[in-house]
Structure 1
Amino acid sequence: MTTKRNSRRFILALIYYLLVIEVLGLPVNTEEVSKCVMDCISHPFDQTGYINESHNSLCRDKGFQVRAHRCVVQDCTVIETFRFINSTNSACGISNIDNRYVLRTTTIAVSVLAAFFLAIRVVSKITGPLSWGADDTLLALSSALAISLSISTIQMIHWGLGRNIWVLTEHQITTFFKFLVVNEYSYLLSLSLIKASILVFFYVSSRTLNFAKLPGGLWATSLSRPHSL
C-alpha cells in the first residue's frame, strides 16, 4: 500500500511540473531536472493531447500517470528521478512524509523500558538470595550492545530514517547506511547474547540428564540464526 501511494505522489508531482512548463509557460528552475526526465515526460504530453486539460484534470488522469511513470522509471537513473521528485513534490499539494518524531519517541521509550527492567534484575541480584551468574553477565553485555543499537537508531533518524529518500542528499544517504551497518551488527550480537543468557539460565536452573543434552543443539541454533527469536 505504501509503495502504491508513493508512486501516485511521484506521478502527481510530474503532472504539475509538466503543466507549469508546457501549459502556463511559467519560469521554473530546471537545474535539478535532467534532460532525460524532461524528454521522457514531454513525450506523452505532446502525443496524447493533454495540453488542453486543466491542472486538476491532469492530476486525476491515470492514463497520463502510467505513461509518465513508466518512461521515467525505465529511461532515467535513480538519482535523476529522486532529484526531479524532490523539486516537484509540492506540485499537486502533496507533502513529504516525515515520521522522525514517532520513530524517535518509540526508540527512546523502548530503550528506557529495557533499562528499567534491567535495573530491576540487577537490584534483585544484589538484594535477593540469588548470586550474580553467567546468565546475568551475558544479559549485561547484551544491554551494552542495546545502547549502541539505540544510539545508531537515533542517528539513522537524524540522517533520514522516516523521511522520503528523495529529500535527502547523497551525503545523508551514505551516512544513513553507515549507521545502518552498525545498527544491524549491534542487533545481531545483542540478540545472540540474549539467547545465550536464556540458555545458560535454563541450563543452571535444571541440570537433569535429559535437559543437559538439550542446550548443545539450542546453542547451535541460537548462534547460527540469532534473528529467529
Structure 2
Amino acid sequence: GMGGVGAPAALYLAAAGVGALRLIDHDEVGLSNLQRQIAFSEQDVGAPKVEAGAARLTALNAHVEVEAAGERLTAANAAWLLEGCDVVIDGTDDFETRFAVNAACVAAGIPLVSGALGRWSGQVGVFAARPCYRCLVPEIPPEAETCARVGVVGALAGVVGSMAALEAIKLITGAGEALTGRLLIYDGLAGTARTTRVAADPACPVCG
C-alpha cells in the first residue's frame, strides 16, 4: 500500500539504498491524500499511486529497482504478488487486506512489518511465523477506526511510516533487535510510546 504508512516508508527505503522495491496498490492519487502521502504532489492527482510512486523513488535513487503492481491484493493473488520478497511492509487501511497479507507471509515464511494509523495514534509490529498478525487481531473489529473513517494527522503517518522502514532495514541488515512478536504503540497527542508483547494464539487459524 502506497498510503500514509507506505509512502514515507518507501521513500526512506529507497534513500537507504534497498536494492529492489515492489509497490502494490490499486488506487489513484487523490488531492486529500497529499497531507500524509508525501511521495506524491498535486501534479500526480489522478495518476496510479504505484506509477507516481515509482517515478518519485527512481528520481530519489536511480539505483533502486522499482516494480509497480497496480492491483488490489486479495487472498487469491497475495501469494504471487509477494513472491520473491524478503520483507513485506503492510500499510493498508482495511482488515481484509491485512489478513490476506499476513496469511501469505506466514505461508511463504516472509517477515511482515505492519503499520497502522488512527487519528492521533499509530502502531508498528513485526510478525515472523508465530505469533502472526491474526493472533493480534483474530476477527475484523466491528467499529474499526480506519484512516478513511476517522482521519489522521499527516505528520503521524510520517512517524509510523518511518518506524516501519526502520524495522524493515533492521530485518534486512540483521542490526539491533526488531519488533518481532512485539507491538510499539505511539500516542502522538500525549507524546508517549509503549511496547507490548503479542502472545501466540494456539487457536489461530493462520499460524496455530
TM-score by length of 1: 0.20
More helix by proportion, 1 or 2?
A: 1
Q: Which has the higher contact order (CA 8 A, sep 6+)?
A: 2
The structure having more radius of gyration, on CA atoms, is 1
TM-score, normalised via structure 2 length: 0.22
